[in-house]
Structure 1
């Protein structure tokens, strides 16, 4: 049954400041053993134990039951941590003390904008999923393998975590691409390209996504199906995009179509991939920027830097609060940082470097991927001169009613243009719906044409 809801988060941690010492660490031999899934590892591969400092707690199952008072039709998400206060705040004045736990992009934002800050709260490992997600990950992991070149995987049917114990950067990225999304969801959201003077025009959309693994009869070589309908502004309303996302996009490129309301026809749209400009993003986002990263990884070499303890956006229920207006979030230069909650979490750090002979506007990208959910929470993007260009954050939150780890929105700061893009905000929109069953026919060109009309 579909569950109505809004955008997401939760759990409990410890106080204590974290020293500025390097916090990069390896994974034990025991943790490299698939038999440890559900034991020393969580069912999808994170380290169950907390850290030695006590600032990251043990994972005890995540937040998979709605807290008291949750009513998606009346109240939206209830914030289990609404009464918590920041442990400390990081600014340009003190960021050197915490630099071991900060991304290059976070530090650059503080250098450029004195008003940019990071409020750090107790850590809660809230990410949790349906039992079927855990069962499939453990059952299929021993037989999953990369295809030649790492551009696809084989041996996977129902799992959302092909490599719960990753040994390479490309395996971590495949975990992100396959990650659970509650089976399916429909999200009603708003996007805001913000100009250097703080002005903006809101765009609105309805996105429907279904994982192929959640369908009874998916087509072969599919990760997911995606439908995106623009509802505002008026000059774009009625445009609809449809994507069938293959697993191996070298063998079978991404299948994409668009409905043009002016022409009243469906056309193929192979350009909806890689670094082509994202719809409604005013040139501030590439198509493969959406949700941290999506699509084929074939244009990059993926290096696994390791795992680190980093301050990342987590449990951002306030960013999804129905009582908060968009005007309270959008500001000049950056979003209202008093709305953003940061916590200390272990993340996989993966560096993507453009392959010789391949083309993309980003020559290098560094991703910070949550160990508990496999979702990208932050990313730094570099241009061809190896200069930091764009800074990305995704405001992670646990959709406890689904249950799945999701997003309360995301932001890209363009350091060169001095503009930024906020996407996926839901504060003034209808609630999201999770868990509805779809078939491939619901994502056909005929369905696209009907939606456009």
Structure 2
């Protein structure tokens, strides 16, 4: 996988001079990456009082024991520095989002934020850093920011962002590892805490890591994603497939679904924007997956700036196979005693629905981790301007693969008093399996029928 990225990056370097006249930033600006800034554009130095440390390269492979694909916790011996609760929230409000404050108020007796020492654990392979530097000098926004041009490096479109939509693209184009597959679980508990688990088998691939991909045919393709429902029995066999594109106004996302009951494959334009999330009881939209995904065209994105915040980070305990789903899934919210928050710098972006567009969320306030560009907190507002749903991405750094991932994604409905938690892998037989040898034939509409046979 790394060799393939290196070859791709080397080929890109040969064309860099030819494309520099159209560069997004100057070579002098790009030279900051990996020198005065981290290779992905974050501040290398810590903060004034040392509560945020300097970035020293992140965690390396072998940082903790790994068993059957499950990562050990390099920080297992640490205890919380303090715990934020409803009773002391005002003391820390400058470093909390409105959504976090609302959750503390909504569940004053159970929702809390345990704050641990900060560790800047995120690291990527060197080949990805090289690709990010190339992206900085070549990638441009097109179609009013809703697509990318000259993005042949394929990772981290704008490591030196100047606008809000560029941060959206950094999240969307971040490195997710080589081709992978995994099983995961989702639950949508009732207010009482009762829930039914929905199991998924997920596969992910990028064109640059598929040996038979035609570069001309996949030039506007960011990745393939296939999701098969494997539990409960009444839903088993439903399979969704999506082709995520780089310029979604030029070529919108293509999606298909296979319905086991009807035994047919059909196009699925509803797998986008605020279409209902799979088996989520109406508690999330399609673009709530990954905290946000898809075309940014329905919103105006305002870059607010950078600030220090307590965010979910290094959640190895929440990822542990020693936990059962019943340990995590509780009434109102997940078991916050199993979570970990740290002080980190984040970028703020405010998304406001355009006047002539439609979406159930009129505004989205987003917070991106500066080291990984992954979303960690999102506040969603309804058409009345009322805070409605709060998303949290419980970040972990996969030190074996050099990937920033989520131990869990949660979306809390403050009005309904319910939530959805997704991406749990604790009770699966093994962790995420990377470096899978897929081909483009594994991601065709015709392949859905075979995947969905009960």
TM-score by length of 1: 0.91
Partner of 1:444: 444
| C-alpha contact 2:349 2:367 (8 A) present in aligned 1 | yes
1:77 equivalenced with 2:66 (yes/no): no
* Shift in Å, 1:190: 0.6
What secondary structure, in the 3-state scheme, does the structure 2 residue paired with 1:140 have?
A: helix
Deviations 1:302-340 (A, max 9, x none): 000011111000000111111111111111111111001
Please list, as runs of the form range in 1=range in 2, the aligned pairs for 1:40-119 lying within 5 A after superposition: 40-72=36-68, 76-114=70-108, 115-119=110-114
| C-alpha contact 2:187 2:198 (8 A) present in aligned 1 | yes
Paired with 1:371 and 1:438, the residues of 2 have a C-alpha distance of 32
* Shift in Å, 1:435: 2.5
Instruction: From the superposition, tell whether residues 189 and 204 of structure 1 become closer, same or farther in structure 2 (CA, over 3 Å).
Output: same
Paired with 1:244 and 1:314, the residues of 2 have a C-alpha distance of 30
1:194 equivalenced with 2:189 (yes/no): yes
Gaps of 5+ in 2: 3-24
Partner of 1:372: 371
| C-alpha contact 2:167 2:373 (8 A) present in aligned 1 | yes
Provide the alpha-carbon RMSD of the alignment.
Answer: 1.8
| C-alpha contact 1:31 1:165 (8 A) present in aligned 2 | no
Paired with 2:331 and 2:256, the residues of 1 have a C-alpha distance of 35
Please list, as runs of the form range in 1=range in 2, the aligned pairs for 1:150-161 lying within 5 A after superposition: 150-161=145-156
* Shift in Å, 1:187: 2.0
Greater RCO, 1 or 2 (C-alpha within 8 Å, sep 6+) = 1
Partner of 1:15: none
Instruction: From the superposition, tell whether residues 363 and 64 of structure 1 become closer, same or farther in structure 2 (CA, over 3 Å).
Output: same
Partner of 1:397: 396
Partner of 2:13: none
Paired with 2:164 and 2:210, the residues of 1 have a C-alpha distance of 28
What secondary structure, in the 3-state scheme, does the structure 2 residue paired with 1:62 have?
A: coil
Gaps of 5+ in 1: 3-28
1:173 equivalenced with 2:163 (yes/no): no
What secondary structure, in the 3-state scheme, does the structure 2 residue paired with 1:291 have?
A: coil
* Shift in Å, 1:210: 1.4
* Shift in Å, 1:71: 2.5
Paired with 1:360 and 1:264, the residues of 2 have a C-alpha distance of 31
* Shift in Å, 1:52: 0.9
| C-alpha contact 1:244 1:255 (8 A) present in aligned 2 | yes
* Shift in Å, 1:32: 9.4
What secondary structure, in the 3-state scheme, does the structure 2 residue paired with 1:294 have?
A: coil
Deviations 1:226-280 (A, max 9, x none): 0000001111101000000111111111100011111211111111000011001
* Shift in Å, 1:133: 0.4
| C-alpha contact 1:184 1:211 (8 A) present in aligned 2 | yes
Partner of 1:284: 283
What secondary structure, in the 3-state scheme, does the structure 2 residue paired with 1:434 have?
A: coil
| C-alpha contact 1:213 1:223 (8 A) present in aligned 2 | no
Paired with 1:449 and 1:30, the residues of 2 have a C-alpha distance of 49
Please list, as runs of the form range in 1=range in 2, the aligned pairs for 1:40-439 lying within 5 A after superposition: 40-72=36-68, 76-114=70-108, 115-216=110-211, 217=213, 219-430=218-429, 431-439=431-439
Paired with 2:28 and 2:97, the residues of 1 have a C-alpha distance of 26
| C-alpha contact 1:157 1:213 (8 A) present in aligned 2 | no
Paired with 2:73 and 2:197, the residues of 1 have a C-alpha distance of 26
Paired with 1:447 and 1:48, the residues of 2 have a C-alpha distance of 45
| C-alpha contact 1:32 1:165 (8 A) present in aligned 2 | no
* Shift in Å, 1:442: 1.9
| C-alpha contact 1:182 1:403 (8 A) present in aligned 2 | yes
Deviations 1:86-125 (A, max 9, x none): 0001011111111111010100011111111100000011
Deviations 1:41-87 (A, max 9, x none): 111111111111101111111113123432326xx221011100000
| C-alpha contact 2:256 2:266 (8 A) present in aligned 1 | yes
Deviations 1:173-197 (A, max 9, x none): 0010011101222121110101111
Paired with 1:159 and 1:44, the residues of 2 have a C-alpha distance of 14
Paired with 1:138 and 1:261, the residues of 2 have a C-alpha distance of 45
What secondary structure, in the 3-state scheme, does the structure 2 residue paired with 1:433 have?
A: coil
